[in-house]
Amino acid sequence: MDLTPDWAFDERDQAAMTAALDEAVAAGRAGDVPVGAVLLDAAGRELARAGNRREQDSDPTAHAELLALRAGAHAQGSWRLEGCTLYVTLEPCAMCAAACVQARLGCLVFAAPDPKAGYAGSLGNLLEDPRLNHRVAWRAGLLHDRAASLLVEFFAARRHDPGSLRTADTS
Ligand SMILES: [Zn+2]
C-alpha cells in the first residue's frame, strides 16, 4: 500500500492517534496484540477509546475498533456515527471495516497498514466498495512508525518467550 500520498493530519488527528497508541500499549501489556482505537464525534469530542481485548475477553470479535464503535454509539445514544472519525493504530480487518460501514462512520484514520488482514486497502477495501450502501472516507500513515514498531516488538517478545504472552512488555 502506498503510504506517501498527500494526506494531511492536524493536531487533533495527532492527539487522537497518540491516545489510540496508549490504548495499544495497554492492550499489549495485558497480553493482547497491541492495537488501539479512539472515536471522535463531529465536533472533535472523544466518544470512546478501546484496546484490543481478544485474549482478555476470550472473544474473537473484541477488536479495538468494534469496542470503540460500540461504546461510542452507546455513549451517543445512536448507532449512526455519521460525522464521527475513528482512529486506529492498525488497518482494520474485514470485520471491523464492515462495522465502520454498518455504523455509517464518517471517516477512518489508521496508522500502520496490515498486508496480511487489512480490508481498508491492503487485501481489499470495504470502506469504498460502490456495491455497499455507505462509503467511509479514510486516510492512513499517521504515526505509522510507532504503531508498526509496537507490533514488531510484541511479536518478537512472544517468539523469544512464548510463555510470556500475558506479561509481554511492549513499551
Ligand atoms: Zn478487526
What share of the chain has pLDDT > 70, as a percent?
A: 92
Indicate if 65 belongs to the active site: yes
- For residues 90 and 97, what is the distance between their CA atoms, to the nearest angstrom? 11
Q: What is the pTM of this model?
A: 0.92
CA of 94 to the centre of ligand 1 (A): 7
User: Residues whose CB is under 5 A from ligand 1 (ion)?
Assistant: 63, 93, 95-96
Q: What is the pLDDT at residue 1?
A: 72
Q: What is the pLDDT at residue 4?
A: 66
Inter-residue contact 64 to 88 (CB < 8 Å): yes
Q: In the chain, where do the E strands start and end?
A: 36-40, 46-51, 85-90, 107-112, 137-140
* Per-residue cell: 113: 497498514
- For residues 155 and 134, what is the distance between their CA atoms, to the nearest angstrom? 35
Catalytic residue among 46, 65, 91, 128: 65
